[in-house]
Amino acid sequence: VPHWAAGFFRVGEDGQLEVTPDGNGGPSASLYEIVSDLRDEGRPLPVMLRFPQILEARVVELNEAFAKAIRKYGYKGEYRGLFPVKVNQRRMVVETVAKAGKPYAHGLEAGSKAELALILAQDTHKEALIACNGFKDDDFIRLALMGKKLGKNVVITLEKFAELGRVMRLAAELGVEPQIGIRYKLKAKGSGQWADSGGESAKFGFTTVEIIKAVEMLAGAGMLGSIAMLHSHIGSQVTDIRRIKQAVREIAQTYVQLRKLGAPVRYLNLGGGLAVDYDGSKTAFYASSNYSLGEYAEDLVYVTQEVCEAHNEPHPHLVTESGRAVTAYHSVLVLEVVDTIRPPGEESVELSKDAHPIVKDMYDLTKSISAKNYREVYHDAFSDKDTLQNLYDLGLVSLRDRANAESLFYQIARKTLKLALELDYPADELEDLQKLLADKLVCNFSIFQSLPDSWAIKQMFPIVPLNRLDERPTREATLVDITCDSDGKFDRFIDLHDVRNTLPVHEIRPKEPYYLGVFLTGAYQDVLGNSHNLFGRIGEAHVTVDEEGYDIERFIMGEKARRVIEKMGYEEGELAESVEKLVRSSKLTPAEKGSFMEQYARELVGYTYLED
Ligand code: PLP
């Protein structure tokens, strides 16, 4: 936990996982208790716990890291962070970031008209930037220009050359002097999953040829003064600090060159990419990051300063559009294990006299397996199982023989794994065996709704039971969700030195809830989630913690079934009418009719997840 938690989570002395929202050893609360309280209030699971104080702490940490680096190097510009709302547009997130960022003039970034519409209404500092990225039509540009006219510090970031003419025309039409940002296509690439967002083949950005053309076009119209920002982005989750330094050098050189061409650029924007160390390994592995926030800030400040001073150009205000690093920590997805699927092999097998000879052979193998022969025995058992399966397909083996063979095979596999682990001499098949023999914990949630990145791009998240952490786990498990989709599973778990195929978990006790927390889920997951199988948005609790304890400030109900169904084009009234017709024409008794219609109506306003 301490490796990935960045000070926000820890294991308490009673074996319960605790949140410390200030990230700095301040007041803490048990997540298990929070969830138990929610259950007592009758709130259903799954639930998302959101901690606004963690968001605030991250905004402050980011700004303070830059302030410290700026002081350290005597840098003359300021840091003007931007929060890209696409990372999480939830009202609570945007409003909290805007409020915590106000003293630092931390701004907001829009990638679409709708995002700009919500950003313009936020209470941000007068000097805070509002950046408009993404492809733009006339209405998007008009909205941005009017925002400037209304006194907001709006910069229109041009993603492609064709947008320049449009901005010039509309600015003249509305009588606004625009602030233009130019997105530069860096040669430098990031590292990790999003490396292709940078580099010459990137989707967005101006080539050097287009930058020169833009400068000439604006100079020709007497508008060179409107170039306010140079922007770049080498991809999210850049795991290797060397890639970042390389990118900063290139963009800083381009800033200097633009200034030499007469463009009065004031803001140098390195985009997103500040990574989150999901597995705590502090490496350049795709789910990690080999640098700290402090190092990131120092490198940006230092490299920019060095380049500017070599060319005698002023230090620009430094901008980053850090989204993942600001939001990831603030939310915890809480799942309840509702069932366990165990592979066979824990039951004893009694063979009858007329059992198939291959099954008898397998039985003997279970008795003869030892440290000396376990590989050979396992291979024999594997081939026996295959042969038996073929014979079964030909109708030559009974269902009982087949079942006994399956049990015996799993018994041998378990012994093989145990011996290999004890001998610390893992067989090549060990990895497969661990997966094969793992329990499957059925968790009441949908991966597609709550953790889409885990399905789509194999993103890893730390997953931890919320209690019993002072008790050695005795089982290994993978997790499955309740969608009717075999992709709805987790079988990759974080590890400091490797990737695990199974998660160590406790033996689940009857009638005692077992909650798993999925951490660092605050970035991108909320907005990318979808309603596969019509599992809707889950409920969320906003929780604050102080010296007195914790307070569930707000609970937002998850989507009701009817909302999710209506999104697919159905009308609740029509559905109820059709079902009523069906009931009327049926042979149900009047009491059955009444009770069924009642149940149907209840279902439409119920939670879409398992509720027993
Ligand atoms: N800025 C731009 C232009 C982006 O495309 C992105 C995301 O990819 C971000 C900022 C946010 O990046 P991150 O979440 O890595 O901070």
> Tokens 């233009």 label which residue?
180
Cα 430–431–436 angle (5° rounding)? 90
Residue 587 to residues 87, 384, 446, 590, 591, Cα–Cα distance (Å): 53, 54, 37, 9, 11
Instruction: Take atom 8 of ligand 1 and give the residue whose Cα is closest.
Output: 236
Q: Which atom of ligand 1 is nearest to the CA of 236?
A: 15
SS3 per-residue string spanning 14-78? CCCEEECCCCCCCCCEEHHHHHHHHHHCCCCCCEEEECHHHHHHHHHHHHHHHHHHHHHHCCCCC
Residue 73 and residue 526: Cα distance in Å, rounded?
Answer: 38
The first and second tokens of residue 496, run together, are 């400091």
Residue 570 is which amino acid?
A: Y
Q: 324 CA distance to ligand 1 centroid (A)?
A: 8
Q: Is 443 a catalytic residue?
A: no
Q: Which atom of ligand 1 is nearest to the CA of 183?
A: 3
Instruction: Take atom 13 of ligand 1 and give the residue whose Cα is closest.
Output: 272
Residues in the chain: 612
In sequence order, what are the residues at sequence separation of 6 or more whose Cβ sits closer than 8 angstroms to the Cβ of residue 598?
none
Which residues in 423-436 are b (16+ Cβ under 10 Å) and which e? eeeebebeeebbeb
Residue 234 and residue 192: Cα distance in Å, rounded?
Answer: 11
Q: Which atom of ligand 1 is nearest to the CA of 321?
A: 10
pLDDT (0 to 100) of residue 193: 76
- pLDDT tens-digit readout, 203-243: 889 999 999 999 999 999 999 999 999 999 999 999 999 99
- pLDDT tens-digit readout, 471-515: 999 999 999 999 999 999 999 999 999 999 999 999 999 999 999
**Domain extents for the chain?**
77-322, 357-435, 561-604
Q: 522 CA distance to ligand 1 centroid (A)?
A: 14
Instruction: Take atom 10 of ligand 1 and give the residue whose Cα is closest.
Output: 272
> Is the N-terminal amide bond of 316 cis, ω within 30° of 0?
no
Q: 111 CA distance to ligand 1 centroid (A)?
A: 10
Instruction: Take atom 9 of ligand 1 and give the residue whose Cα is closest.
Output: 272
- Decide whether 77-322 matches 357-435 in CATH topology: no
* CB distance 87 to ligand 1 below 6 Å: yes
Pick among 3.40.47.10, 1.10.8.640, 1.20.58.930, 3.40.50.410: CATH of 357-435: 1.20.58.930
Q: Which atom of ligand 1 is nearest to the CA of 235?
A: 8
Residue 300 to residues 6, 80, 276, Cα–Cα distance (Å): 21, 13, 17
User: How far is CA 569 from its chain centroid?
Assistant: 29
The first and second tokens of residue 457, run together, are 């791009």
Q: 275 CA distance to ligand 1 centroid (A)?
A: 10
* CB distance 133 to ligand 1 below 6 Å: yes
Residue 297 to residues 71, 157, 251, 293, 392, Cα–Cα distance (Å): 11, 23, 15, 6, 65
pTM beyond 0.90: the answer is: yes
Q: 355 CA distance to ligand 1 centroid (A)?
A: 63
**Nearest C-alpha neighbor of 44 from the set 556, 480, 564:** 556
- Fold assignment, 77-322: TIM Barrel (3.20.20)
pLDDT (0 to 100) of residue 212: 97
* CB distance 522 to ligand 1 below 6 Å: no
Residue ranges in the chain modelled with pLDDT below 50? none
pLDDT (0 to 100) of residue 286: 93
In sequence order, what are the residues at sequence separation of 6 or more whose Cβ sits closer than 8 angstroms to the Cβ of residue 12?
18, 28, 30
